[in-house]
Structure 1
Amino acid sequence: MTTAPTSAPRPRAHLIAGMASVLVSGLLGMTWLWISILTLVSGLSGLLAAGTGMVVLIPWAMAMRWAAAVERRRALAVHGVEVVVPARRLARRSGVVGWLHQLWLDVASGPFWRAALHHHAVMLVGLLLSALFWTVLVSSAALALSLLGLATPPPRLGTAAVAALACALLLLAVGILAVGAVAERGLARVMLPDADDALREEVVELAERRQGAVDAATAERLRIERDLHDGVQPRLVALSMTLGLARSRIASDPERAEQLVAEAHEESKAIMTELRQLARGIHPAVLTDRGLDAALSALAARSTIPVELHVDVPTPAGREAEAVAYFVVSEALTNIAKHSGASRARADVRGDASALRIVVEDDGIGGAQVRRDGVSTGLAGLTDRVRATGGSLEISSARLGADGRGTRLAAVIPHDRKDTPR
């Protein structure tokens, strides 16, 4: 006998815990609320003084990220409000620069400021209601002490009236905390990031990736059209003319006709080689047959300048990610050979649990730029192709003359787990 699966129970609000939460918020409102506000104000004002306010704003932003996580847990555990963790745009760099970039991406998002505003609003509400609670509770305690003869009773009130008033004030104090718990729950439901925020962030990211895929496909189509029109097509026309000339001379000049046929045969083999190279540019067979390491080794071997290649990819990253990594290295080496005037190049491809990280460097004259003028669009096509995977590509290439520092291309390509071989 099988039983129908039961859905997970929905979290419930706990009134007693909510009332205690109001008191905690009130305590934070007396201390941390003012510290946070003063820190934010001083940091923003310090930005005008040579950016010194960043020294204050960075710790404040880190504290707000931590506070947002705590508020989400409190909303679920105390108030029974399920808060969706908003989608985050992840930094594609590593080290300290990557950490600072991630912090900036978080601060620049709407959910961060909504969570920060909620945190301060909860503390402010808790401060006001806690102050009112303690005022009413102290009044009730004073009346109770007067019944015991430990305090002066109110004039013109009998013992029964004093007892009734003390009980009423005690109930009012409890009611104030209950109202505070309801108010905190309402603030959590309204102000904390919900599913709609997560969906909006995801839609923005998917729109960027879709546009990158469209731009990359357009650039690839134009490249294929250009290679066919400028390379293969004229050679096919010349081959056809050579065969036609040989045909016309078979009867009158057999020796010349034989020479023309031999030339046409050699030209046909050259055209086949060019078509294979064009097909390799669409998707290299060696990448599918032997993997990324072998495909990149073949690229380095064909390069006209010495290439120092390092590949460390312990686990497959997925067909799409590996194909994009191949084209990044291929286009970078092609640009180095054509434009950089470099004497050597270095390519480093490493994989971790989340992404492929690629760095290609040369010692050339620099000056590489992402251009979309229809003339030199190789790097623009690479940028779009990487963006379509959800990754990023950065180019450092200041033109400093023949003794410059060359060009550095760094790409991060997230793993495509859905088609990673198992």
Structure 2
Amino acid sequence: MTVSPAGRADRPRPRLEPASIASVAVGGILLCTWFWVSLSLLITGLGGLPALGSGLLLLIPWLLMMQVVVRIERRRAVAIHGLRVILPAQRRSRRQGTSGWLQDRWYELGSGAFWRGVLHHHLAILVTGLFFLASVALLWAGWTIAETAIATGPVQIGTREISRIALAVFSSASVLLAAAMLALGALADRGLARGLISGSEDDLREQVAELAERRQGAVDAAAQERLRIERDLHDGVQPRLVNLAMTLGIARGAIRADPERAERLVGEAHAEAKAVMTDLRQLARGIHPAVLTDRGLDAALSALAARSQIPVALDVDLGGPAAPALDREREAVAYFVVAEALTNIAKHAAATRAEVTVTRDEDSLQVRIRDDGRGGARVHRDGLSTGLAGLTDRVRATGGALEVVSSAGEGTALRADIPLTSSPTPRTLPRTTTEETSR
């Protein structure tokens, strides 16, 4: 596929080459052989599943063969029809050896692209095979008519006589129709490949839209964090530093005239300096808490629950020591979701208790926070009460989604689903859709 100077993608025009015609002939051979073998294995395997799962002895080899066949079909679409195959995003196992290979095969079975490839394989054999058999039948008819015209001359059919010239015309028409059947079979094969396995520009547009959405989420989250830091510095630390400087200035002026007062002022300044250090430490903890780096998410959430102004029931299940470690970005997002939620509950919910549940599976990290407060929480982007908006942006930047359910008088429930793997970028020989609902 090429791009014109105006930026428009020009689709390659269909081409009829010897290889595409030969592919139709191969489809005819496969229709008479492999097509029925494959269907028999599938139907027999499915029928044997109720018999203590004995059908798996046929289904497992068939599925492994189909994975190889789908790869061959993709390469055939590129080599014969000149199509650009866009594979959807696919998870890869982090394990090594045989277990990793088996997990990759399992992930492939769960992808829509694989099953579209299986459907394409059988439909392509069926369609091209029928066109090929029709072409063979027409060639046979043309040959027979030509042989009859040469051997016996005019043919009497009922009361009408068909001359040798008419027979020659019929024979030539049969040969031309046979060639047309091969050409139509090649075009149908190309159309099936384009529709089922090649992907489309819409796939790329969806991927670009998703990446743009995630980038915007990261930008919005960074802007919210910057505003929070500016607000904390301006409203908290800056006035205290100004007050500290004024106290030290007064103490310096009173050192000779009133040493006792100067000593008292220096003591006040010393206490204020320690308080400012505490504020700065809390501000740094808001950027990335040290306990999260040193001891992990479980310990960091336990510290949050212990400091909370209301009782918090905390349940964290990260899969045990054998589970792979969470990366820093997702740990931080989960931490700040819980931290911001508990802060909002303490400030605005008038709740008596809260529940925090953090669980993990192979695909995502789920964070659930629930309280028994007044409810009515909403995501605002008007510059006021933007805490939930900032959380939404943080979660969206990872490819996940934040759901807020908060009916008046029934408390608030937050649910954040954070994917553990980033969506890969498309490969030329990949599509994930992340949706966020504004609430």
Preserved CA contact (<8 Å) 1:84 1:194? yes
Aligned mates of 2:400, 2:141 — CA distance in 1: 63
Q: Which moved more, 1:311-320 or 1:286-295?
A: 311-320
Give the counterpart letter for 1:266 in structure 2. A
Which residue is 2:284 aligned to? 279
Which residue is 1:84 aligned to? 85
Which residue is 1:99 aligned to? none
Change beyond 3 A, Cα 1:285–1:416: farther
Which residue is 2:308 aligned to? 303
Q: 1:157 aligns with which of 134, 151, 163?
A: 163
Which residue is 1:408 aligned to? 413
Aligned mates of 1:234, 1:413 — CA distance in 2: 38
- Superposition CA RMSD, Å: 4.4
Aligned mates of 1:145, 1:306 — CA distance in 2: 97
| Equivalent residues in 2 for 1:325-344, closer than 5 Å | 325-344=334-353
Aligned mates of 2:252, 2:74 — CA distance in 1: 87
Change beyond 3 A, Cα 1:264–1:325: same
1:18 aligns with 2:18: no
Preserved CA contact (<8 Å) 1:371 1:379? yes
Give the counterpart letter for 1:285 in structure 2. A
Question: Unaligned regions of 5+ residues in structure 1, if any?
Answer: 1-11, 26-69, 91-105
1:319-354 CA-partner distances (Å, limit 9, x unpaired): 111111111111111111111111111112222223
Aligned mates of 1:142, 1:416 — CA distance in 2: 64
1:123-151 CA-partner distances (Å, limit 9, x unpaired): xx99x9799979968976996999999x9
Which residue is 1:171 aligned to? 175
Q: 1:20: how far off? A: 7.7
Which residue is 1:262 aligned to? 267
Q: 1:277: how far off? A: 0.3
Change beyond 3 A, Cα 1:342–1:152: farther
Preserved CA contact (<8 Å) 2:132 2:185? no
Q: 1:281: how far off? A: 0.2
Aligned mates of 1:73, 1:359 — CA distance in 2: 45
Give the counterpart letter for 2:24 in structure 1. G
1:323 aligns with 2:327: no
1:229 is paired with a residue whose SS is: helix
Give the counterpart letter for 1:84 in structure 2. V
Q: 1:275: how far off? A: 0.6
Which residue is 1:384 aligned to? 393
Quick one: higher RCO (CA 8 Å, sep 6+), 1 or 2?
Answer: 2
Preserved CA contact (<8 Å) 2:292 2:299? yes
Which residue is 2:405 aligned to? 396
Change beyond 3 A, Cα 1:72–1:417: closer
1:390 is paired with a residue whose SS is: coil
Aligned mates of 1:265, 1:416 — CA distance in 2: 48
Q: 1:410: how far off? A: 1.1
Q: 1:382: how far off? A: 1.1
Preserved CA contact (<8 Å) 1:392 1:411? yes
Aligned mates of 1:197, 1:73 — CA distance in 2: 24
Give the counterpart letter for 1:379 in structure 2. L
| Equivalent residues in 2 for 1:103-182, closer than 5 Å | 153=157, 155-157=161-163, 162=167, 167-168=171-172, 170-182=174-186
Give the counterpart letter for 1:215 in structure 2. D
1:283-312 CA-partner distances (Å, limit 9, x unpaired): 111111111111111111111111121222
Aligned mates of 2:284, 2:74 — CA distance in 1: 56
Give the counterpart letter for 1:187 in structure 2. G
Which residue is 2:426 aligned to? none
Preserved CA contact (<8 Å) 1:312 1:349? yes
Aligned mates of 2:422, 2:326 — CA distance in 1: 7
Q: 1:170: how far off? A: 4.7
Aligned mates of 1:257, 1:306 — CA distance in 2: 45
Give the counterpart letter for 1:156 in structure 2. I
Aligned mates of 2:421, 2:70 — CA distance in 1: 33
TM superposition score normalised by structure 2: 0.62
Change beyond 3 A, Cα 1:344–1:137: farther
Aligned mates of 1:365, 1:359 — CA distance in 2: 18
1:184 aligns with 2:188: yes
Aligned mates of 1:304, 1:89 — CA distance in 2: 44
1:246 aligns with 2:251: yes
Aligned mates of 1:291, 1:220 — CA distance in 2: 22
Percent of aligned positions that are identical: 52
TM superposition score normalised by structure 1: 0.65
